[in-house]
Amino acid sequence: MSNAARHSRLGEMVAQYRLPLLRFFQRRVGPGEDADDLVQDVFSRLAAKDLAAIENVQGYVFQTAANVVRDKARRAGVRRIMTQAPEDLDIEDEAGFSPERILQSKEVLQIMVAAMYELPEQIRIVFSQYHFDGVAQVQIARHMGLSLSTVEKHMAKANAHLLHRLRNAR
pLDDT at 18 > cutoff 60: yes
User: Rounded to whole angstroms, what are the CA distances from 86 to 11, 19, 90, 93, 132?
Assistant: 46, 42, 9, 18, 17
Percent residues over pLDDT 90 in the chain: 18
> What are the residue ranges of CATH 1.10.1740 in the chain?
3-80
Give the CA count within 13 Å in the CB-facing half-sphere of 162.
19
Whether the predicted pLDDT of 85 surpasses 80: no
> What percent of the chain is predicted at pLDDT more than 70?
84
3-80 classified as CATH 1.10.1740: yes
Per-residue burial over 93-106, b = 16 or more CB atoms within 10 Å of its CB, e = otherwise: eeeeeeeeeeeeee
Element containing residue 89 per DSSP (H, E): none
- Summarised one tens digit per residue, pLDDT across range 112-158 is 888 888 999 999 999 988 888 888 888 899 989 999 999 999 999 99
Give the count of beta carbons closer than 10 Å to the beta carbon of residue 41: 20
Instruction: Quote the pTM value.
Output: 0.46
| DSSP calls for 144-164 | HT--HHHHHHHHHHHHHHHHH
Fold of domain 90-169: Arc Repressor Mutant, subunit A (1.10.10)
pLDDT mean over 11-17: 89
Give pLDDT, residue 157: 94
- d(CA 144, CA 125) in angstroms, rounded, equals 10
Task: Give the model's confidence band at 29: pLDDT under 50 very low, under 70 low, under 90 confident, else very high.
Answer: confident
What is the location of CATH 1.10.10.10 in the chain? 90-169
